Structure 1
Amino acid sequence: MKELVEFLARSLVEHPESVKVSEESRGDTTVYRISVDPSDIGKVIGRQGRIAKSIRNIVSARAYREKRHVVVDIDS
């Protein structure tokens, strides 16, 4: 799952080498925190958060198939 989040984020930004994804478990929830270069934050979030929402939807669909609960956070 972490690889999927990393792939999605890297494919959107101009500085893919600066993308870092950390994974943290909180009870039955897994939190994926995406860190990107400050100049790329707009590309990952998108207008009105549409791209961020799409990333969350894709990851949630994959998590549903694996019977897991995930949260995706985006940091600069």
Structure 2
Amino acid sequence: MSQLNPSVDTPAVPVVSIPVRELAPWALFIALLALVALYFVGAEQGATSLISGTGVHEWVHDGRHLLGFPCH
């Protein structure tokens, strides 16, 4: 049976520090994509519809039910 030997040195893993100013644009972009997706799943229908017809509604229909949005 093999046991771990605490006296054996393991190589150190360098920790990379990412500045917030480099992360902020990506966080903003992902938040914007999430809001657009939430709009299309939750509100793209009826009076607030940006795209006419029922195409978008049919594409996100199951997602609406999964997330608890009423659609009919």
TM superposition score normalised by structure 2: 0.29
Larger Rg: 2
Higher relative contact order (CA 8 A, sep 6+): 1
Structure whose residues are more often strand by fraction? 1
